[in-house]
Amino acid sequence: MFRNRLKHHWAAGKPSLNGWLSIASPFVAEIMACQGYDSLTIDLQHGALDYAGMLPMLQAMRALPVTPIVRVPWREPGIVMKALDAGAEVIICPMINTAEEAAEFASFMRYPPRGTRSYGPTRAGFAHPGYGVGANDEVMAFAMIETREGLENVEAIAATPGIDGLYVGPSDLALGTTDGRLAPGFDPTDETLVASIRRIAAVAKASGIRSGLHCGAPDYAAEAIGWGFDMTTVSGDTRLLAMAASASVTRWRDLTQAEAPKAAYARD
């Protein structure tokens, strides 16, 4: 029987650590899955990959006890349903601004009579025996709150039947709610923005659903668990690779006093 490990992990009162995948590589997905994350999110919105890249990554993660999550690029039924059919157990949908948008997204997640999902679990049916019976109860829909409108409507979004969680993207939330006062980025310290982030977690908890926050550093992510978040994401594969490579190169050059190449690759 299909059982969403992450859903039951939360039901037991345990927080979770989420990893983030933007590189189209089953090998990278497998390496990340071996590191002890509770879940891994494949990013179809901003990641350098598409459905063809996602599918083998889900297969590579299958051997490890990690829950597969997919962030879809938009609130569109085709890609939501294909991600579920491929084996995603949680879907994160960006830019949910109203209860109506939340309800539409939620409908894509579940088979009739609870939704409008078309039946055809191409891979999920093989990966999870009894998938068709249990899917409606086990898949989870996370709505991203990342605009002023979404923040204003967060209570209504959280109360929407079929929405199982709220996910905070702090960069877009900063852009969308501070009138250009704050630059996008992880781990904000601005009091107003932090208050908005904490409000989202509080609304989720009051509504009986889950909440997640994208963070840059483990210390901030651990603090956010104390704010009431059920799941925190720490960085992602691209940034972790860049940070590890940069630290190694910097250390070697410090020890050898060797100069770096003049045309070094620019990093954001």
**CA distances to 24, 102, 129, 260 from 20, in Å:** 12, 23, 27, 30
Q: Under a CB-based contact definition with an 8 Å cutoff, are residues 147 and 176 in contact?
A: yes
Helix, strand or coil, per DSSP, at residue 4: coil
Task: Tell me whether residue 128 is one of the annotated catalytic residues.
Answer: no
Within 10 angstroms of residue 10's Cβ, the number of other Cβ atoms is 19
Q: Which of 8, 46, 128, 214 is catalytic?
A: 46
- Helices H / strands E in the chain, number of each: 13, 8
Q: Under a CB-based contact definition with an 8 Å cutoff, are residues 92 and 142 in contact?
A: yes
CA–CA dist 155, 206 (Å, integer):
9
**Which residues are registered as beta bridge partners of 39?**
18, 67
Q: Residue 148's closest CA among 198, 189, 97, 104?
A: 97
Helices (H), the chain: 5-11, 26-33, 51-61, 77-86, 99-109, 124-127, 131-138, 148-152, 154-158, 170-177, 191-206, 218-227, 237-256
Structure token pair of residue 118: 């078309």
Q: Under a CB-based contact definition with an 8 Å cutoff, are residues 24 and 47 in contact?
A: yes
* Site of tokens 């939620």: 106
Within 10 angstroms of residue 191's Cβ, the number of other Cβ atoms is 8
Catalytically annotated residues: 46
